[in-house]
Amino acid sequence: MTEPTAGLPLSAPEALTVLGALVLVLARWLPERLRGPAALAAGALLAGSVTVLVATGPRWQLVPVLVVAAVTGGFALAPLLARRSGRTPRRARWWLAAPGSVVCAALVATGPVSAWAFPVPDFPAPSGRFPVGTETVEWPVPATRSERERQPPAAGPRPLVVQLWYPAGRSAPEARRAPYLGRTQAEARTVSAGLADYTGVPAFLLDGLPRARSHAVPGAPVATGGGRFPVVLFSPGLGGVRTQNTAWAEELASHGYVVAAVDHPYDSAAVVLSDGRTLRTRVTATGDRAKDRALAEKWTRTRAADLRAVLTRLERLEPGGAEGRLAGRLDVDRVAAAGHSIGGAAALRAARQDPRFDAVVDLDGFPHGPVGSPFEQPVLALTQEIGRDTDPDYLPRLTRVLERSTATSYRLTVPGAAHLTFTDAPLYLPPVPGIVGSLGRTEGHRITAGATLSFLDATLRRVPVDLTAALSAHGEVTVHRPEDAR
């Protein structure tokens, strides 16, 4: 597999392929004595780079480049073959060749441009003092009533696939980094195809995702220092997958937290089980506002039950097995529920139902279901920039929920943020404000992780910090204080 060159959207073989094709396009316009050597050099360069690409699997962005290389290569090498056979080379007139050269150059340019628009994700290096390890486990849990309605008859307990990111000890520099979307390349390809199918985009547009590697090392030993680590449970967005916030999870783990992200069966786009089965999403909108709100509430209940079930399993970890390395290292008395979109709603619901959760991080999640009775946990709600297209019920409903907390809670509105800004999506989707916001590839991650760490340090670790000031560095902060403190 070829990896992108640091700072560039292309790997070295891909960049050399683009260079070779461009030289072939320009060879027609070089002085006659240079045309032959330039064509031969470009041909040799392409032979080597294309051989590597064929062996590793070329990306779709290189298809027009390879077509141009094949076409212009024939034109560039034809004069050389004619001379060797004793014939006089024939050349197209410049006014015929010029438009063709312009078209070919434009096609070659589409390679790097499309690779920039849909790159292989380059994950920001975690900034904390701990390296990061990761492990994926699978736990059966009893199906809820709403879940039994969606799964096949006699399917038995639902398997929850949970990925853990944790503070690790030092690993060898050559240690294998974890694939982005799964435990194996095959799983990553399956999940990538599932995401494409769920979002309705051609699968080839996301072909960079299975090629991506994060910074975490699978199965790395747990860090020997740091005592017991606070825990953050994470629920992804509707149709999302457990790895959709990998950069955020790795950043938290590098600062001494254990993050446990959940794949929700029949909700996540594709869940690949250890026995080889793949569970596809069965969540679909009806287009009827009232019905979709009712469905969202039901899905939120199921997700909240999943978060509570995972916490119970984490409390009972025993030595031995994949997750056993974390036995005795989790501080299950300091736990936060977190989630993106409907996952944020599930985190709020789980915390309101279960006092074992000490704090909530809601990443742009609309609170589904009844506002409910007062609850004790502080909440950090990060929201996208509010505009004309924002659901008019969003902020009023979120405000009512935050005001139900008997602890001080915070709403941080991030200027330039869109709904997907709070995920890994800016790392691999086109940087179009309507899709991923206007904060670029990594600024959204920096804000999301920075705000989350400030909040968790203050609420779980009781670090003395002016939380309002810390959050204000990232956007507009609204503080919701308990009624008796106003």
Q: Residue 412 and residue 410: Cα distance in Å, rounded?
A: 6
| pLDDT digits 0-9 by tens, 434-471 | 899 999 999 999 999 999 999 999 999 999 999 999 99
Q: Is the pLDDT of residue 392 over 70?
A: yes
Residue type, 103: V
Q: Residue 73 and residue 81: Cα distance in Å, rounded?
A: 12
Q: Is the pLDDT of residue 88 over 50?
A: yes
Q: Residue 182 and residue 136: Cα distance in Å, rounded?
A: 9
Does CATH number 3.40.50.1820 belong to domain 132-485?
yes
What is the pLDDT confidence band of residue 154, given thresholds at 50, 70 and 90?
very low
User: What number of other Cβ atoms are within 10 A of residue 464's Cβ?
Assistant: 7
Closest residue by Cα to residue 109 from 46, 53, 61: 61
Q: Residue 302 and residue 295: Cα distance in Å, rounded?
A: 11
| pLDDT digits 0-9 by tens, 199-243 | 999 999 999 999 999 999 999 999 998 789 999 999 999 999 999
| pLDDT digits 0-9 by tens, 38-53 | 888 998 999 999 999 9
Average pLDDT in the 104-130 region?
Answer: 95
Supply the angle between the helices 342-353 and 289-315 in degrees, to the nearest 10.
60
Read off the tokens for 473. Answer: 């560095």
pLDDT, mean over the chain: 90
Closest residue by Cα to residue 231 from 356, 377, 379: 356
Q: Residue 87 and residue 232: Cα distance in Å, rounded?
A: 75
Please say whether the beta carbons of 362 and 381 come within 8 A: yes
Q: Residue 395 and residue 402: Cα distance in Å, rounded?
A: 10
Which residue is it, tokens 């486990």?
Answer: 137
| pLDDT digits 0-9 by tens, 255-305 | 999 999 999 999 999 999 999 999 999 988 888 888 989 999 999 999 999
More confident residue, 229 or 3: 229
Which pLDDT does position 287 carry in this prediction? Answer: 83
Please say whether the beta carbons of 94 and 218 come within 8 A: no
Q: pTM of the prediction?
A: 0.91
Q: Residue 233 and residue 26: Cα distance in Å, rounded?
A: 56
Read off the tokens for 282. Answer: 């069965």
Tell me how far CA of residue 452 lies from CA of 7, 236, 446, in angstroms. Answer: 27, 16, 10
Please give the sequence-ordered ranges of beta strands (E in DSSP) within 30-148, or none if there are none. Answer: 132-141
Average pLDDT in the 149-172 region?
Answer: 79
Average pLDDT in the 243-253 region?
Answer: 98
Every domain of the chain and the residues it spans: 12-117, 132-485
